[in-house]
Structures are given as structure tokens and as C-alpha cells.
Chain A
Amino acid sequence: MNINTTKVISLLFFIFSAFYLYTAYQIQVFAFDENAPFNARTFPIYLGYAGLFFSGLKLILPDPYTIKVQHKTLEYKKTVILIIIAIIYGATILKVGYFLATSLFLFSSYYFLGERRWVLMFILSFPFVAAFMYLLHGVLDIYLRDPFLQSIGVMG
């Protein structure tokens, strides 16, 4: 059997399905439901077996369409930085507020992706977010929680 990354993913999915199946069997059901033809754990149990079946097949059958990814050509650094910025954005959005957190997220993302046109970067972050907020909050009446803008009296 030729080991490639697709097979490794299939193996991981097989292990995940086994864990899912084990957890499905642990689901607590009501005593009167225990022997019913269908209860809260029936469908997940079928899914667990289906996961084992399909990933098992993928593992043992030869793969006529092998995918080869050239890892050297992939841009891991920028992708990881972008993910980290997104996580920081997620962590700060509630405390700092939508406007500031989003504007800073956009500005820093442009910067780390290699952009250096400062004026355009600024326009497409702070004023852009303000306009978008106005569209959502002011025009479409979609509530946006922003403690920062509330504290300075811009938002009601």
C-alpha cells in the first residue's frame, strides 16, 4: 500500500470516526427510550460506522487519483500570520468593540500581506468599517455591540 497524505488524512478520519462512535455509545438516553427503535444515539451510531466504512475503504483501496502537493511553493508564513491576526481579532472584538477591533484587523492584515500604500490602507480600514457599520446598524437595523463607541457616545 502506497502511503501518501490522502491516506494519512483517511487514517485520521478513521480514528476520528472511532472516537465519534465511542462517544455516540456514551450518549445518555432516558430509561424508557433505551430499547426504543430510535433514540438520541441511534443516528450518531450509524454515522460513526459510516465514517469507519468510508475512511476504511479509502485506506485500503488503491488511489488512482493521487494528489501531490508541492509544499515548497506554498505560502505558509503569511497564512499562519493571517490566522493569528484573525484569532486576535476574535479575542478582542467583544472587549475593544467592533469598530476599533475590525479596523485594526483590516489594517494589520493589509500590512502583513505586503501592502504599503498607507492612505489606501487607512481608507479601506477605518472609514470603510465606519461606513459598513452605518449600513448594518443605521440602515439595516442590525444590532452591533460596540462598548468603545458607546463609551464615547457615538453609538446609542
Chain B
Amino acid sequence: MIEGILIGLTTALTLQNILMVMLGCFFGTIIGMLPGLGPMTAIALMIPITYGFDPATGLILMAGVYYGAVFGGSTSSILLNAPGVPGTVATSFDGYPMAQQGKAGKALAIAAWSSFAGGTLSAIYLLFMAPSLSKVSLSFRSPDYFALMILGLTAIAAFSSKGQFLKAMMMVVLGLMLASVGQDSLSDITRFTFNNMNLTDGISFVLVVMATFAMSEALTIILKRNDPTSAAKQVSLTELGSIKINKEERTKMYKTIPRSSVIGFLIGVLPGAGATIASFLAYGMERNIVNDEEKEKFGKGSVNGLSAPETANNAACSGSFVPMLTLGIPGSGTTAVMLGALLGFGVQPGPRLYMTNPEIFWSIIMSMYIGMVILLILNLPLIPYIARILAVPKNYLIPLILFFSITGIYVMSFNNFDIYLMIGIAVVATFLRLYDFPMPPLILAFVLGGLMEENLRRSLLLSNGSWEFLWDRALTACILATTILIIIWHIYKTLKKIN
């Protein structure tokens, strides 16, 4: 492991990669502060830039954007009660009341230190857990992988939006259907191309991500007459006050941070869960643990209430890298985008990644530490200045997002058809978003589609076409049982709501 850490440090500490982490964190913080534009859009917009880099640098840039966006989201939560990303909703419960009491600077400092500590601690957990899990996952067979993918897709559908399980499952199926277009990987038979040569190689992952996130979010903003930059304009005018944290507040944070980082990391590891659930759970757990006097302060500007979700959401970000790096199965929509980008580089994440491409594996982990330090430097003194950059009116922001999206496709294929297809998918996605059809399940399904078919093929061929492979091995059966439990829980919840 020491050797790996050194490889990671050597890669992550090159001037180019440090610059990439800084750029990623900076850009991520900006996008994270804009309500409606989340980390997935930020990462999607970065994809064309990464074409010119090696895989490690590209992924370091995207990882920087990811935790930058989560970090940036907390700023608008605290100062304006307008969370930039869902993962920072719980931050506003105590952060905003604190800001209203004239302690905005202090609230930002608590959030920044908690995020830093949560991110750093979880990067340490990742450091120890990822190689061990990689070794364990080497014993995984095709049926286990197939069951794990079913679990991941069901979980993301269950957790992605409240009460929209069936809609999310429809999006999962749509994502898998889109992934099935093009040549079959084994027999080279073309499917669903309707004799169109442009579809022979299938639909590009970048195209689907750009269409369903960057482009459709831009169109949704125009359609709904939203102005995401108005929040940033207000942030730039807010008086922050002192950013000093006193001894009593520090003592409270020392207790909250370790337990919230553990819960955040573990939730992040689970497929489909992620920063939003982690932050809510950490907030709820903290409220149950603290004494009655402190409990009274929750919702009115509690230090524990602010520190817990901020620690957990950053810890969950690092945690979500575990299934992607060790199993090759992304646990969230954001890591699905990163997985797709990695596949585009010709790198196959999975249990062998840390043996075949140790520089990628370790440099991502090492860049997290560097990223956390950079975020701390960025978020505390520079927030009002960053916000001023965002005073760009939406009349400029929207065309620029569309421009980045189309450029991403153009430099990849130099093909008009891909641009038309992207616009078509974006229009459909915009319409579906209006009716709360979630997009992250579609992306995850699209990324996993090929792998899922391959593992199902192997499993069915090995068992002579029998579906017994699903319960032949204890591990497969356990994973499947978890999936069934999630489905039953959702049916129960829906029936309860109807009655």
C-alpha cells in the first residue's frame, strides 16, 4: 500500500494535476452554487476538456469538480436557504438560521472545516477499504455482478426521487434500451439501428450525458423562467462577519465529525444512496445523540446540526468512489458519468484497476486530500469573490452551456447526426423532467447496460439457460434478497401513502 500511496502522490503532485484539482474545485464550487445545476452537469461539461489529458489527469479534474460542487452547494444553502445541490439541503436547516443571526461567516467556516474533515477522513477510509475490497471482489463471478447491477439500478431508482419509484424504473429501462442500440458485443449483429450507419457503433455515452443533464438543464431553466444566477448575485452582496470558531464550538465539532464521517462514507458506498441520504441520516442521528439542551438548538442554528450533514455529504462523495473503483459499478449518477468517461479513455475500472493502472487508482485517492485543502482555501476567504463571477446573467450562461454540450459531441465525432440526436434526446429529457422523471437512473442504466448484458450472457450460458444462477451462490442470493427488500419497502410505502 505504501508503494501505491507513493505512486499516487507522484502522479497527483505533478504541477499539471495540482492545477487540475484547483481548476476542478474552483469550477465545481461555481456550478454547485447555482441551484439546479448539480455536479453531474459540471462533470459532463468537463468531458470535452479531458479529451486532451491522460486518464489520471482527466479523472482528477472530474473528482475535483465533484467535491467542489458539493462544497459550493453548501454556500447557497447557508447564505440563502437555496441549496445548490440536493446533498446540501440538510445543511440549510441550521446553516441558514445561523446566517440570519449575523453569523454567516462562522456558519461557512463550520461547513468548510466539517467538509474538509469529512472528506479527509473518508479519503483515509477509502485508502484502506478500496484495496481490500478489490481483493474480495476478485472472487465475484458473473451472476454476482449481474445481481449487483440489478441492486444498484433498483437502489438508485428507489432513492433518486421521493415516491417516484416506478417512474425511475421506467427511466432505468429506457437507459438500458438506449444502451442496446448498435452492434452486439459478441456476435456483431446490429440492433435497433434501422439501417442508419451512424447508429452502428451505438449511442455515445457523452452524448446521452450531455443531452440529459447539461443541455436539458439549460432548456429547463429557460422553460421554467428560473434564474440560477440570482442566488449567486445575492451571495456576493452578503456580509459574512467573522469566520472564527471558538473553543466550545470546536469541541462540539470534534465529537460530531468522526461519527458523521463514518455514516457518510458507509452510505456513500451503498449503490444508489449518496450525499443526500447521508446528510439527512447524519443530521437525524446527531439530533438523537446530543443532549436535550443541544437538541433544542436544532433548526435554530446548532453547530452540531450544521457540522453533521456537511461532514456526511463530503464523506459520501469519497465513499461513492469505492464501488466504482473496486467493482467497476458506479454507486451514483455522478460516479456513473465518471465511469463512462473512464471507459472512454479505454480504462476498465474494476477489481484489477489498482493492479493494472495503479497510477489512476492511487492518484484519485491522493488527489482527494489535495482537493480538500484547496477547497478549504477556496471556500473560506474567496466565496464572495467566486459568487461575483456568477453574477453573469442567465442570458449568457444558458447559451454557454449549450455551446459546451455541442462542442463536446462535435470534437468527438464531427458528425451532424450526433448533434441532432443529442438535441432530440435533450428535448425529450426536458419534457420528462417537467413531470419528475429522474435522469440519474437513466444514466446509470445506460453505463451499466453493456456490462449487464455481458454478465447475464455468461451466467445464462454457464447454467444452460436456467435462471437458477440467481440463487445458486449465497452471495448472489444475498444481493438479490436485498434488491427484493428494497422493492417490497417501496411497495409498502406507496400503499401506505395511497391509504
Contact B436 A75 (CB under 8 A): no
In the complex, whether A148 has a CB less than 8 A from a CB of chain B is no
Q: List 21 interface pairs A-B (beta carbons < 8 Å), by A numbering.
A: A10-B170, A37-B463, A37-B465, A47-B176, A50-B173, A51-B173, A51-B177, A62-B498, A67-B436, A74-B224, A75-B223, A75-B225, A79-B222, A83-B423, A87-B423, A105-B399, A105-B406, A106-B400, A115-B396, A140-B53, A145-B414
Contact B406 A142 (CB under 8 A): no
Number of B residues with CB within 8 Å of any CB on chain A: 65
Kindly supply a per-residue 1/0 record for chain B positions 451-473, scoring 1 wherever the CB is within 8 Å of any chain A CB and 0 otherwise: 01100110011011100000000
Residues of B within 8 A of A (CB): 48-49, 51-53, 162-164, 166-167, 169-170, 173-174, 176-177, 180, 184, 186-187, 189, 191-192, 219, 222-225, 393-396, 398-400, 402-403, 406-407, 410-411, 414, 416, 419-420, 423, 427, 430, 432, 434-437, 452-453, 456-457, 460-461, 463-465, 494, 497-498
In the complex, whether A73 has a CB less than 8 A from a CB of chain B is yes
Once bound together, how far apart are the Cα atoms of A105 and B407, in whole Å? 12
Contact B398 A33 (CB under 8 A): no
Residue of B nearest to A133 (CB): B407
With A58-B167, A110-B395, A136-B411 in contact, do A86 and B187 touch (Cβ < 8 Å)? no
Once bound together, how far apart are the Cα atoms of A55 and B430, in whole Å? 19
Residues on the B chain within 8 Å of A91, using CB: 416
Q: How large is the interface on A (under 10, 10 to 19, 20 to 34, 35 or more residues)?
A: 35 or more
Once bound together, how far apart are the Cα atoms of A23 and B199, in whole Å? 15
Identify which of residues 67-99 in chain A touch chain B, using a CB-to-CB cut-off of 8 Å.
Answer: 67, 69, 73-76, 78-79, 82-83, 86-87, 89-91, 93-94, 98
With A38-B461, A136-B52, A140-B49 in contact, do A86 and B411 touch (Cβ < 8 Å)? no
Contact A79 B189 (CB under 8 A): no
Residues on the B chain within 8 Å of A113, using CB: 222, 394-395, 398-399
Residue of A nearest to B180 (CB): A44
Contact A142 B52 (CB under 8 A): yes
Residue of B nearest to A74 (CB): B223
Point out the residue from B170, B191, B460 that lies within 8 Å of A40, measured CB to CB.
Answer: B191
Kindly supply a per-residue 1/0 record for chain A positions 110-145, scoring 1 wherever the CB is within 8 Å of any chain B CB and 0 otherwise: 100111000010001000000010001001111111
Point out the residue from A9, A30, A62, A98 that lies within 8 Å of B435, measured CB to CB.
Answer: A9
